[in-house]
Structure 1
Amino acid sequence: MAHKRKKIAVIGAGFVGSTTAHWAAQKELGDVVLLDVNEGAAIGKSLDLFQSAPIENFDSKVKGTANYADIQDSDVVIVTAGMPRKPGMSRDELVGINAKIVKDVCAGIKQYAPNSVVIVVCNPMDVMAVYAKQQLGFPRERVIGMGGCLDSARFRAFIAEELNVSVKDVTGVVLGNHGDAMMPVVRTASVGTTPITDLLSADKIKAIVARTKQAGAEIGGHLKTGSAYYAPSRGAVEMAEAILKDQKRILPVAVELNGEFGVNDGLMVGVLAKLGGAGMEQIIDFKMNADEKAEFDKSVEAVRALVSTLKTVQ
């Protein structure tokens, strides 16, 4: 009997999707299927990526397609399809446009990869993750939003830059929503094992937190058209790797809360969770102090407000 290789489907062959396929293939996480309504883009980018395999020495197969039948039995599906946020456009304005795309995508996933773990990347991520979960009807363990891995990477990058230390020795997480109300957790951020509050002034920390919250907009402002794609795609692949290799990683991801942290109305909010072979295997009960809980609650409200705009999309 032939051994089944792991399979990753990436929906959307734009900058985020094609770069997601790139990281996944390069890391040999499994065979990659890149799907886009623009079949030519999906096939062309897949061929190009596959032709780098002899140089980079990876054995992952890469296939481009517009046909959902090709994602059959994928272990992980990463949804990047959707319009990017344009400069000056709020994440909210994207809801109507991208919900329609996500609805079609979910129909394809349900039909051909009903046992997959789905990672939602497209913006506004919190809402699209909630909408995808509604459309898919999968258990909460198998629909996860990518926001925290990206926001936490930005937070850590800015701390490392400010202190002129290796990013490898910086820990820090961002919880809450993937938007202006995100919550970089200053209290637990550290360099080595030293809290950043011992190493940086309150003003410096405040500036890093503010920059982290606006990091996506900062990049968009420089690019003029389009938005970030290297770090968002790498965040999605960090999650996919944890699942495909059953790593039991503790990562900041958006999952549906069923009473955890006082949230129980089907909202998907960024928390620390264990990712393994079954998808989201455990939510880590992060003990927040009063200030953090107040900030987290504000973040939850931001998600709730965005999700309420979904009611007009059907």
Structure 2
Amino acid sequence: MSRVVGSELIEDARQRGRVVFEILPGDIITDVARETAARIGIRLVDGPLERPAPVKTDGTTAMRRLMYKRSARWVAPRRGAILPARRFSKLALVGAGGVGGNIAHLAAMADMADEIALIDIAPGLAAATALDLNHATGITGARARCLGGEDLSQVSGADVVVVTAGRARSPGMTRADLIGVNARVIQTAAEAIRTQAPQAIVIVVTNPLDEMTTEMLRATGFPRERVLGMAGTLDSSRFRNALAMAAGVTPADVQAITLGSHGEEMAPIPSLARIKGAPLEKFLSPERIAACVQDAVTGGGQVVALKKMGSATIAPAHASVELLDHIRGARSGPVPVSVRLDGEYGIEGVVLGVPAHLGASGLVEVEELRLTEEERDALRRAADAIKARLAS
């Protein structure tokens, strides 16, 4: 039977690790599929292709191999060595408030750096937090030495710089309301990072996150691989928590991801979410799923409304540490992170939350998931909204 070969089949082939896609007689291939294949490096080949004949083993050889494996001299092949996670020489945190202080604590407990530098314009805050963390080492045994101060030159020589500094939201404020004031904070931090730590990977946590990551890219001049935004890890965690509570399971039973912007245009992806390995519909009604999506989108605002002054600190710190773990090799696989897209998902030149593989040099590769058309539309709307905010 003839097929209509669209871009989704080409993307599926890429997800399966194929570099060749076979076009059978009678197949109709769309122009979009051809463009997608050219963009992601899949070769379209007219078929049917000749398959190699299966290797047949005679009974005598098969029995000889079996008996050899049963002998005392046979040794199982050694598994490839698993490389230990590396430790950063220096981790710098621009902002020593709730998020920065929690990141420093978690990083010290995870033994991920020789030195952790905290920087904050509030007199004494960074130094006090660093001293407090050093006092705890007599109990925790953490090897990292912490130092703190107000001078941005302390980012010097850092492998990774996490920027959390900036004004937090108050009740009634959106993240977009912070663009003007926090852009100046990012510009100041970027100048210090560009001159003092020119090889560092930068993780932006300051809101509005996608816009501030864009500003960090512009102000440092760094390649997109070394300027990342922490958003999707936090938003995905909130989505998993909402689904777990609705279904009456633990969050460990839930796999779910959130893409798009870190704001009103957030795009939780229900089609790929699973509870105990099964689609959401097995456990939840469409109305409950929609409520969980809304809970993820408004999760940060719920914390702001309860605190009155300030925003979430603990969950963003854990989300930031998850990115640090991927960079240093303590975790593997794709993780949602804000990066500037260069054609992935059909979007160009916009910082947006997408699943990506990270490594010692920062971004390794953006992973393109199979999304529904509605979910793709949500990504496009998020990109358009970010462009509009930056333009204004």
The TM-score normalised by the length of structure 1 is: 0.94
Look up the equivalent residue of 2:234 and give its one-letter code.
L
1:78 corresponding residue in structure 2:
162
> Which structure's CA Rg is the greater one?
2
1:250 aligns with 2:349: no
Distance 2:88 2:102 in 1: 21
2:356 is the counterpart of 1:273: yes
Relative contact order: is structure 1 or structure 2 higher (C-alpha 8 Å, sep ≥ 6)? Answer: 1
Offset at 1:49?
A: 1.5
Query: Secondary structure at 2:355's aligned position in 1?
Result: strand
Paired AA for residue 189 in structure 1: A
Q: How does 1:68-217 map to 2 (within 5 A)?
A: 68-217=152-301
Question: Where do 5+ consecutive residues of structure 2 fail to align?
Answer: 1-85
Among the aligned pairs, what percent are the same residue?
35
Matches of 1:244 and 1:68 in 2, distance apart?
24
CA contact (8 A) 1:187 1:197 kept: no
SS in 2 for 1:152: helix
Aligned match of 1:233: 317
* Distance across 2 between alignment mates of 1:77 and 1:200: 41
| Counterpart-to-counterpart distance in 2, 1:155 and 1:29 | 27
Read off the aligned partner of 1:204 and give its amino acid letter.
R
Deviation of 1:249 (Å): 3.3
Could you tell me which runs of 5 or more consecutive residues in structure 1 were left unpaired when the two chains were aligned: 310-314
Q: For residues 246 and 159 of structure 1, what CA distance do their matches in structure 2 show? A: 27
Q: Residue in 2 aligned with 1:32?
A: 116
Amino acid in structure 1 at the alignment position of 2:385: A
Deviation digits for residues 134-154 of structure 1, max 9, x if unmatched? 001111000001110000000
Partners of 1:231 and 1:296 in 2: CA distance: 24
8 A contact 2:91–2:116 mirrored in 1: yes
Describe the shift of the 1:5–1:292 C-alpha distance in structure 2 as closer, same or farther (beyond 3 A): closer
Q: Post-superposition, which runs of at least 4 consecutive aligned residues in structure 1 deviate over 6 A? A: none
Distance 2:321 2:123 in 1: 23
Q: Give the stretch that moved more between structures: 221-230 or 61-70.
A: 61-70
Report deviation, 1:299.
1.5
Aligned residue among 73, 92, 95 for 1:12: 95
Report the AA paired with residue 111 of structure 2.
Answer: E
Whether the 8 Å contact between 1:247 and 1:276 is mirrored in structure 2 is no
Q: Deviations over 1:163-218 (max 9, x none)?
A: 22221221100000000110000011112211112211111111111111000001
| 2:137 corresponding residue in structure 1 | 53
Q: 2:156 corresponds to which letter in structure 1?
A: Q
Asked whether 1:288 is paired with 2:371, we answer yes
Cα distance in 1 between the residues matched to 2:171 and 2:391 = 23
Q: For residue 23 of structure 2, what is the aligned residue in structure 1?
A: none
Distance, in Å, in 2 between the alignment partners of 1:85 and 1:268 is 21
SS at the partner of 1:235? Answer: helix
The CA distance in 2 between the partners of 1:4 and 1:140, in whole Å, is: 23
1:259-306 per-residue CA deviation (whole Å, 9 max, x = no partner) reads 111211x21001000011111100001122211111211111122122
Q: 1:247 Cα deviation (Å)?
A: 4.1
**8 A Cα contact 2:87 2:328, kept in partner:** no
CA distance in 1: counterparts of 2:331 and 2:223, whole angstroms: 20
Go from structure 1 to structure 2 and tell me whether the alpha carbon gap of 1:206 and 1:142 turns closer, same or farther (over 3 Å shift). same
2:88 and 2:328 in contact (8 A); partners too: no
Structure-2 separation of matches of 1:4 and 1:173: 28
Tell me how many residue pairs correspond in the alignment.
306
Deviation at 1:4, TM superposition (A): 8.6
Task: Report the Cα offset of residue 22 of structure 1.
Answer: 1.2
**1:88 alignment partner, SS class:** coil
Structure 1 counterpart SS, 2:270: coil
Amino acid corresponding to residue 138 of structure 1 in structure 2: F
- Report the alpha carbon displacement of residue 14 of structure 1 after superposing the two structures with TM: 1.3
Whether 1:23 and 2:130 are equivalent positions in the alignment is no
Q: Secondary structure at the match of 1:249?
A: coil
Q: Distance in 2 between matches of 1:190 and 1:5?
A: 34
CA-to-partner distance for each residue in 1:62-98, whole Å, 9 max, x for gaps? 1112223322211111000100011111222210000
* Structure 1 residue 229, shift from structure 2 partner: 0.7
Q: Which moved more, 1:272-281 or 1:191-200?
A: 191-200
Deviates more, 1:30-39 or 1:112-121: 30-39
Q: Is the 8 A contact 1:249 1:276 kept in 2?
A: no
